Structure 1
């Protein structure tokens, strides 16, 4: 009986730890174009996939990082060009930035859904 309680308590703490350890970038975001993008863990980083809009189902990014600051690649779904990118989470806002040669950059702010 005591062993069962200890195992149950350990499982509950592990589940709570997983929720607390979730990165701030994980979740659904409204993009600047109004589409919904899902950011989810994948292969040691975070994949960005459009869930709604004319490019629904298309993976448009791969970012790595922790604690609110991420970097990787972002693809413009309109022209399929891939850029060096970054994301920075501040509360319910995600500032996404894509750059060509780290000089010509465009930024967008996404909102958490």
Structure 2
């Protein structure tokens, strides 16, 4: 008798993928960023923004890609991507380090770097 077992063929998601909440920016707004696979790399889109009381607000960045071309470097590290920093309206080099449900996000341009810690929502 021949028994054939079928495995679930759904691709395993990278732990980076999901919905993340940013730290408050200079305008005291937080955002929800959806990180997803874009071909063999990762990109992130602004899905929603919230004021300091937690009320959803409309901004021109909703629906826009925040970063793209982020590569897996191994060991929870991602880099070599591009990030758009909306408050400064500049493009910068993007890198991220994942540790559980925390994501250290870093943007660097001309030797000047800024970072935030994002928290996983789902």
Q: Would the TM-score normalized by the shorter structure come out above 0.5? A: yes
For the aligned pair, the TM-score class normalised by the smaller chain equals: 0.7 to 0.9
Aligned length: 103
Aligned match of 2:66 in 56, 60, 67?
A: 60
Taking structure 1 as the reference length, what is the TM-score of the superposition? 0.81
Unaligned runs of 5+ in 2: 25-29, 50-58
Which residue number in structure 2 is paired with residue 31 of structure 1? 22
CA distance in 2, matches of 1:66, 1:23: 12
Q: Note if contact 1:29-1:36 (Cα within 8 Å) is conserved in structure 2.
A: yes
- Give matches, 1:40-55, under 5 Å: 40-53=36-49, 54=59, 55=61
Which residue number in structure 1 is paired with residue 107 of structure 2? 98
> Relative to structure 2, which stretch is displaced further, 81-90 or 58-67?
58-67
CA distance in 2, matches of 1:108, 1:41: 21
Aligned pair 1:81/2:90, yes or no?
A: yes
Indicate the SS of the match to 1:56: coil
Structure with greater helix percent: 1
Unaligned runs of 5+ in 1: none
Structure with greater strand percent: 2
